[in-house]
Amino acid sequence: MDLKEFIYKNVIIPFVIDLNTSGIIVNRVTNKLGINLKPLRFIYCFRCHFNNLYLTTYKYLGEKETYSLFYKIGKESVLLAAKVAGIRPPNKNNSRLFLKLMLLSTHTTGIEFENIIFFEYLTKTVVVQGKNKVWNNEIKNGFFPGMLSAYCGIIFNQNVEAEYIKHNPDDKIIKASLSIPPKHKVDMNILFNYYSDYHKLNFPDRTNNVHNYRSFSHLVKFKKIKMNKEQIFHLKNQPLFPFPIINDIIVYNFKKSKHLDILKKGLVNSAESLAPKILESQTHHQQLEEIKTILCAFGWGFPYHEFTKKGVIMTFVHPPYSKFGFEFYAYEFNGYLNYIFKKNFKVKKIETRLNPVIIKIFYEH
């Protein structure tokens, strides 16, 4: 790392993720020049859920529509996260370095496209090379070009589209350029409206951890969560995917395209399949407490349950909140419940209360 890169990474825009608080994970982007960007709330998810959701979508919608859907998700996730954090276009001299650091920031997710093989500011053209360890490598995934499109949109301060120019399982090259025909222009006013009260509701001044839940760092300390040589966290050999906002954008786009049933099917089935790989306890009650502990550490807020004659009511105190909805989390937890109790639960309704944020999910079987 040269001096310029060191200064930019460690002084201008260092990212610090606080993993020490139960229920809430905060990514603080600050610098030593007196410019403090706004924090983002992070959630850790099991990486397999994103792959299984993509494959489920591909099964029902086919390659073209699935590619387009996830291109929008990749692009909107990055642009909204940048908008919420207050990240602005870098100056021209730092633009290439800015892109490199943005690409490096996704390395711990399994998205490795940090090799910039061409960058020309004048023509607004960028070419990056890398590989994907998140989704199936045989199928072209629109998420990665969508992300690059967003990064370039921030850098050049205008809409820039992206596409694959090479797609092999172990080697992918993506190009972003003004010469690529328009694919998806994001209306940030519409998206940002869903996050108008984001900082007010996602970062409570104090939390009431009456269940004495453990934090992410606590699970790391006691080796429940480990880090591999690629600096990716995993639990029971299941890689974790840290990201702000993406779950909300997934829900938004599946709702908008009227495919919420596919989102539900993909997440419920994925969680059902994952549960026996991560739960060590033997009884129903112990397994339920175990998954609640894991998800609290992942940043889901504080989960509590109540059994009813028809099913289970899950209550999440201080969960990640936005106006997009809580369906991503509700469907994932649905799958865990199905496995634990060997029943076919369904989400009957989701209730939200603000100040503080409390979300109730009513499951019935």
Contact 209, 169 (CB under 8 A): no
Contact 351, 360 (CB under 8 A): yes
Contact 294, 213 (CB under 8 A): no
Residue 251's domain comprises 198-364
Contact 305, 321 (CB under 8 A): no
Quick one: 185 and 275 in the same domain? no
Cα–Cα distance, 28 to 11 (Å, whole number) = 13
In a domain, 284, yes or no: yes
Quick one: 186 and 205 in the same domain? no
Quick one: 206 and 298 in the same domain? yes
Residue 159 pairs with which residues in a beta bridge?
none
Quick one: 210 and 246 in the same domain? yes
In a domain, 129, yes or no: yes
Name the domain boundary from 162, 190, 218.
190
In a domain, 51, yes or no: no
Give the largest CA-CA distance in the chain. 66
Quick one: 91 and 157 in the same domain? yes
Name the domain boundary from 138, 167, 190.
190
Quick one: 24 and 90 in the same domain? yes
Contact 110, 241 (CB under 8 A): yes
In a domain, 48, yes or no: no
- pLDDT tens string, the chain, 365 residues long: the values are 554 444 344 434 445 678 888 999 988 765 544 446 788 999 999 999 999 999 999 999 999 999 999 999 999 999 999 999 888 898 898 899 889 888 887 776 777 787 899 999 999 999 999 877 767 777 889 999 999 999 999 999 999 999 999 988 788 899 999 999 999 999 999 999 999 899 999 998 766 655 678 899 999 998 999 988 777 899 999 999 888 899 999 999 999 999 999 999 999 999 999 999 999 999 999 999 999 999 999 999 999 999 999 999 999 999 999 999 999 999 999 999 999 999 999 999 999 999 899 999 999 99
In a domain, 256, yes or no: yes
Quick one: 182 and 35 in the same domain? yes
Quick one: 147 and 264 in the same domain? no
Contact 125, 96 (CB under 8 A): no
Domain total of the chain: 2
Q: Which CATH number does the domain housing residue 266 bear?
A: 3.30.1380
Q: Is the pTM for the entire model greater than 0.85?
A: yes
Q: What are phi and psi of 35, to 5 degrees?
A: -105, 110
In a domain, 221, yes or no: yes
Cα–Cα distance, 221 to 365 (Å, whole number) = 38
Residue 231: burial class (beta carbons within 10 Å; 0-12, 13-18, 19+): exposed
Quick one: 11 and 139 in the same domain? yes
Quick one: 223 and 350 in the same domain? yes
Name the domain boundary from 190, 218, 238.
190
Quick one: 175 and 250 in the same domain? no
Quick one: 173 and 314 in the same domain? no
Cα–Cα distance, 14 to 11 (Å, whole number) = 6
In a domain, 124, yes or no: yes
